Structure 1
Amino acid sequence: MTVQTTLVLGANTVIAQPQYSVVFSTAKPLTFGQQLGLIWLPLDEHRKAACSPAYLHETKDWAKLNTVDNPNEWQLDLPQLFDSQGVSFLQLIAYTYHEPSLNLPAVELDSISLKLNNSAISYDFKATERHVKAAIILEIYQRNGQYKCRALGESSTQGLASLEHRLQVSLDMRSPNTHALIQDAQRQQNQPHNESRPPRHAQTGETWTGTAFAIDQYHLLTCYHVIESAAMIGIRQQGQPDREAQVVLSDIGSDSAIIKVSEPLPNYLPLAQQCSDNLGETVTTLGFPLSGLSSQLQVTQGCISGLTGLSDDIRYMQFTAPIQPGSSGSPLLLPTGEVIGMVTSSFVHEHAQNMNYAVKFQLLSALLASAGISLDDLSDGSLANTGALTTPQLSKKSRSALWLVGCEG
């Protein structure tokens, strides 16, 4: 006989099954995936983001929708997340979509009912104030070899923005309509910003190139679309032997990937460690664009021209340093030599110039944490610097950490 457990705010209970189902419903006629969003946010022991979250529009291997047409029901694989990705807590956030360009009444969170593990556990979250836009309603954790869940009710009238600041993580709060528009625009543009990108199923023997930069003695960061569909990956640097690389971890959502080599790399770059308003800050890129014309490292300079990407995508920042096909995976460097982002794309339009985008360092840090690569080990990197450098100094100091990536289908 199954014991029924009804949670109240602050209460916790044991989860008997590590493969865990969660079903949602609302008292008001609001629909998940249309007015309401859900985020499964993995956190480390310090309650900071441990790896990329799962969204309704971007599920993960450890958090999947049972059916595409029913975003109310999820299936969680807790061992895959907790045991292999260094996660200590998994928080569930419900939030309202907001499209400021549409003149629509504001949607608010009122109450959400959860049924867990085939209704063995239930929890009814109720907002205790008006105009709630986001709320942390559940937390899953591990104690003494058991998984447990705790009923929470931390709400915000400011939406995900207030949670971003506290957790120091970028969260994607855009509505499904925005995602559809972006995908349509990318298809129409045929992704001209990633002209070095191969088809999803690359032909045998087909080759293409990109850029990667070392972040410790054995690991490099590059773009997901650079290594996608590659049967073989190699890296090259003038004066160094060619090396074969293997993919450690990749994330299509942030267009990022970690690759690894077996022999130590000569130098690596430090990632930025804290958030600040860098709008207008000078940035430098180093990479291998148009490698068919030249395999020499090229340097360009510009500034951070926007703190979000296309359609206000908070995972990216906009910059003006010129880039070309093959620049994907190049580091975006502050004058101190710290990596504040990784070049991923550009928007090509007859009326737009230098609308280039880089994935933010916070997402790169989360990807490294997911792979078990400690940021503490990277903070004292051999190329770390405390003062501002001139562009020639920055180029000379950083070039030994830059590698041309060659892929074969």
Structure 2
Amino acid sequence: MSELKAGERIRYEGDEIRFRLNLRPQVRLTLVTRDGRFVEPEIDGAWQVFRSLSRHGDDAEILVFLEDTAIGHANDVYPAQMRIGESEWSMPEPIGSLRSIILCQLYRKDGVTRLKASNEGHAFGIDAYARARNIEPPRHQRSAPTDVPGHRDLPPSRGGRGSGSGILVTPTLIVTNEHVLEDATGFRVPVARDACRVVGVDPMHDLALIEGEFSGDPIPVRIADPVWLGEDIMAAGYPLSDLLGADLKVTGGHVSGLKGLGGDLSRFQFSAPIGSGSSGGAVVDKQGRLVGVTAASLAHQNVRDHGANSENVNFAIKACLVQELLSAHGFELPTNLSSDGMSPRELTNRLRRGVVQIEVAF
């Protein structure tokens, strides 16, 4: 088996390419055509196969990407192997931590089809990849979170389990990230008195709504006043529960930017430390009012590899979109919740009662 170097080009003859990678739940392999179509491979034993490539046009890219855009990277697919006909190559590994990685590019020049090996990609996942190419990311191909059943006990998995966070915004509704439930076979909310269900999804803004009977107290949502630059905030969630324990973690910081990646006005940047499992957790102001839903964290190592420092660069979905999600599905936020005069200890106790863990089976 030969080793391909990053940027190396080989002549491509045939109409099929095979890949063998260490794929896991929420990491996908796909082919992207020049006009923005995402094509899934066929499965043949240990191989992921793209057939009839000529029908997809002269230019295409084959990439792997992590669908959970909050924490993690897709580098774990390596070592990656490619087979064309009887020839096999090992693919060059990325230098930094990436959430979307281009394995190779197919293109036609001077009447000859060539393949260029690549180890480049994006720290911010499939959305950043799609924005760079002015195409629509493949959200329509994701498992519909509304099909994910809730359980009193976590159901058997296909081989993976995970966890995220959620926020009680009414006595019977929890808001979380869509990607927390994505591709799950089922989920469990420990504070639920019975089985619960997903009743609403906003895939564009990565929000999902879970209905059930829950023990706890809702957190008031701040709607009228937008966050302001430099404002003190607290982040609450359940990061790294398998390592740190399944109790609530609270960190402090401030609003460090009023936009998300690429100028996204639906998100803001904050500096309170978070970790894997924080997704869907609460970002609150000093009065304990919800100002955002934790959604994403910068891939620090990849940024450091480019000579920059990115510690505690995190992003939250603005709270006004929580109200929009509820309204779009016929629900209203409570109007009788108050945070006036709360001490720091009282605020933390409210977060204990209003921010919940969500266990997921894949």
Distance 1:388 1:187, change over 3 A: farther
2:254 is aligned with 1:303: yes
**What is the letter of the counterpart of residue 233 of structure 2?**
V
- How much has 1:233 moved relative to structure 2? 1.4
Residue of structure 2 aligned with 1:287, choices 207, 231, 237: 237
**Partner Cα separation in structure 2 for residue 296 and residue 191 of structure 1:** 29
Decide whether the 8 Å contact of 1:331 with 1:343 is kept in 2.
Answer: yes
**Partner Cα separation in structure 2 for residue 330 and residue 187 of structure 1:** 28
- How much has 1:207 moved relative to structure 2? 1.4
Alignment of 1:235-274 (within 5 A): 235-237=189-191, 243-261=194-212, 263-274=213-224
Percent of paired sites with the same residue:
27
2:183 is aligned with 1:233: no
- How much has 1:366 moved relative to structure 2? 0.5
**Partner Cα separation in structure 1 for residue 278 and residue 196 of structure 2:** 19
2:321 is aligned with 1:363: yes
Distance 1:326 1:280, change over 3 A: same
4+ residue stretches of structure 1 with deviation over 6 A?
Answer: 182-186
**Partner Cα separation in structure 2 for residue 372 and residue 244 of structure 1:** 21
**Partner Cα separation in structure 2 for residue 242 and residue 187 of structure 1:** 44
What count of residue pairs does the alignment treat as equivalent? Answer: 215
Distance 1:184 1:373, change over 3 A: farther
The equivalent of 1:155 in structure 2 is none
Alignment of 1:10-409 (within 5 A): 188-189=122-123, 191=125, 204-237=158-191, 243-261=194-212, 263-293=213-243, 294-348=245-299, 349-350=303-304, 351-375=309-333, 378-381=334-337, 384-387=338-341, 389-390=343-344, 392-409=345-362
- How much has 1:243 moved relative to structure 2? 4.7
Secondary structure at the counterpart of residue 225 of structure 1: helix
User: Where does structure 1 lack aligned partners over 5 or more consecutive residues?
Assistant: 1-67, 70-181, 193-198
**Partner Cα separation in structure 1 for residue 342 and residue 259 of structure 2:** 25
Distance 1:332 1:292, change over 3 A: same
Distance 1:189 1:267, change over 3 A: same
**Partner Cα separation in structure 2 for residue 190 and residue 275 of structure 1:** 29
**Partner Cα separation in structure 2 for residue 282 and residue 388 of structure 1:** 15
Distance 1:229 1:315, change over 3 A: same
Decide whether the 8 Å contact of 2:193 with 2:214 is kept in 1.
Answer: no
Decide whether the 8 Å contact of 2:219 with 2:350 is kept in 1.
Answer: no
**Partner Cα separation in structure 1 for residue 121 and residue 281 of structure 2:** 24
Distance 1:290 1:254, change over 3 A: same
**Partner Cα separation in structure 2 for residue 379 and residue 329 of structure 1:** 22
Decide whether the 8 Å contact of 2:101 with 2:122 is kept in 1.
Answer: yes
Decide whether the 8 Å contact of 1:213 with 1:222 is kept in 2.
Answer: yes
Q: RMSD in angstroms over aligned alpha carbons?
A: 2.9
Secondary structure at the counterpart of residue 280 of structure 2: coil
- How much has 1:244 moved relative to structure 2? 3.1
Decide whether the 8 Å contact of 1:214 with 1:265 is kept in 2.
Answer: no
Secondary structure at the counterpart of residue 226 of structure 1: helix
Distance 1:332 1:301, change over 3 A: same
**Partner Cα separation in structure 1 for residue 340 and residue 274 of structure 2:** 27
**Partner Cα separation in structure 2 for residue 327 and residue 187 of structure 1:** 25
Decide whether the 8 Å contact of 1:224 with 1:251 is kept in 2.
Answer: yes
**Partner Cα separation in structure 2 for residue 187 and residue 386 of structure 1:** 47
Q: Deviations over 1:107-131 (max 9, x none)?
A: xxxxxxxxxxxxxxxxxxxxxxxxx
Decide whether the 8 Å contact of 2:240 with 2:277 is kept in 1.
Answer: yes
Secondary structure at the counterpart of residue 215 of structure 1: strand
Distance 1:305 1:264, change over 3 A: same
**Partner Cα separation in structure 1 for residue 289 and residue 329 of structure 2:** 21
Q: Deviations over 1:369-398 (max 9, x none)?
A: 1111113xx1213xx2124642x3311122
TM-score (norm 2): 0.54
Decide whether the 8 Å contact of 1:304 with 1:318 is kept in 2.
Answer: yes
TM-score (norm 1): 0.48
**What is the letter of the counterpart of residue 358 of structure 1?**
A
**Partner Cα separation in structure 2 for residue 301 and residue 255 of structure 1:** 23
